[in-house]
Amino acid sequence: MKLVPCPLCKSSREFLPVRITGQDGHIHKYSGLYDGQQLSAWKVCGDCGFLHQNPRPSIEALNAFYLNSEYHTKYETPPSVEDYLEFGKWYYAEKTDYLLKAIGPDSLSSKKVFDIGFGHGGFLKQFADREWEVYGVEADKNHFAFAKNDLGLKGPGVQLGILDRKTDIGTQVDVVISNHAFEHFSDLHEIMESVQKILKKGGYIFTVVPTPFSNRSRLSKKWMNASHYSMFGHHSLNHLMGQYGFEEVHHTYRGWWKEIDEIWHVAQFTGKVFEANAFVEDPRKVQFYMNVINPLRSAAYFPIFHGWAIRLGFFNKWKRRIRLLFSNPGLAFKKLTARVKAA
């Protein structure tokens, strides 16, 4: 564990503390990396206002942790390819539609997409089904195997590993996508340099990340745990990407009703590099938001959004089961019997 310069502006001048309450449900995964700590520590950069975990394990230790497939301590195979495809459509289809509407796909010279950390492959599958060429990297060997062997996402551009300066897919793509991955990256600048390498000039990057800003639940602060190293809003995403020639096309904190407290952000690789202070936030205002405004918003929205993901997941699980019962009673009975035997 060590105190590091700001991951965004690289300043070490001053860091403002942010209060974290409750339990960190992820820190136990990291064995010795956190030296027995019970909570991760979060700071606001005193120069640019970026919210990040500090101190933290080293870049080398964190990269090795992901490459050794240690993040998912208990790997659970999706119940079936059919079930996962249904989940993937439910979870990713609206995000795909939002992106394509924002960029206008007819303006692209080709249809090639690269996913940074594609997991089981659900996001890439949305594009494959729309006849795009798919590329990407995934660090977890079990997730990679499912995407390759069960979803059929194959080819030299679908790779096991992490995105870094050595990544070579043999071409450049029109779109880079990333769903709940940027918060895990230990070196944001290497990621952006690598994106520049694989993305065509004029191409787009679509970033979906959890956020504590414009929040509607306590989940927004639970995102601030040992498995995440940076927390973004649209200002900090623009700050990061503006250093590498990307300009925002559109963003929203209200992308869908299925998962709260996340931001969707689309930017185009125009080559225009912004001044270093173009998207700097007031550090004291960020600290005040996190320590005062965020908890107040969470309390105000509590009656509506408490346990939202759990309630929504339960609702959708039973909706799928009822739909299956009417469309294919035999298969529904078979699955019910299997669940009873497993219990």
Q: How far apart are the first and last CA of the chain?
A: 43
Poorest-confidence range of 134-148, 181-195, 326-340?
Answer: 326-340
> What does the pLDDT average to over 21-47?
83
| Between 242 and 80, residue with greater pLDDT | 242
User: Residue 264 has what pLDDT?
Assistant: 97
CATH of 81-305, one of 3.30.1180.20, 3.40.50.720, 3.40.50.150, 3.40.309.10: 3.40.50.150
Is 117:66 a contact under the CB 8 Å cutoff?
no
User: Residue 338 has what pLDDT?
Assistant: 79
Poorest-confidence range of 222-231, 239-248, 264-273, 305-314?
Answer: 305-314
Per-residue pLDDT of 56-87, as tens digits, reads 988 888 887 777 766 766 556 676 888 899 88
Helix axes 188-198, 234-242, angle to 10 degrees: 60
Per-residue pLDDT of 257-308, as tens digits, reads 667 899 999 999 999 999 888 999 999 999 999 999 999 998 998 877 776 6
User: Residue 171 has what pLDDT?
Assistant: 96
Does the structure show a pLDDT above 80 at 173? yes
Is 103:249 a contact under the CB 8 Å cutoff?
yes
Alpha-carbon distance of 320 to 326, in angstroms, equals: 10
Question: Which residue type does 38 have?
Answer: Q
User: Residue 74 has what pLDDT?
Assistant: 58
Closest by CA to 49, choosing from 221, 263, 233, 188, is 233
Poorest-confidence range of 136-145, 235-244, 257-266?
Answer: 257-266
Alpha-carbon distance of 326 to 303, in angstroms, equals: 34
Give the side-chain half-sphere CA count within 13 A for 232: 30
User: Residue 31 has what pLDDT?
Assistant: 66
pTM equals 0.87
| pLDDT band, residue 30 (cuts 50/70/90) | confident
User: Residue 182 has what pLDDT?
Assistant: 97
From residue 286, give the alpha-carbon distance in Å to each of 12, 40, 279: 17, 18, 13
Neighbours of 217 (CB within 10 A): 20
Is 121:151 a contact under the CB 8 Å cutoff?
yes
| Between 209 and 258, residue with greater pLDDT | 209
Does the structure show a pLDDT above 90 at 232? yes
Poorest-confidence range of 71-85, 137-151, 153-167, 326-340?
Answer: 71-85
Over pLDDT 90: what percentage of the chain?
62
Alpha-carbon distance of 244 to 239, in angstroms, equals: 9
Per-residue pLDDT of 88-115, as tens digits, reads 998 999 999 999 999 987 878 899 999 9
| Between 304 and 178, residue with greater pLDDT | 178
Domain ranges of the chain: 81-305, 308-342
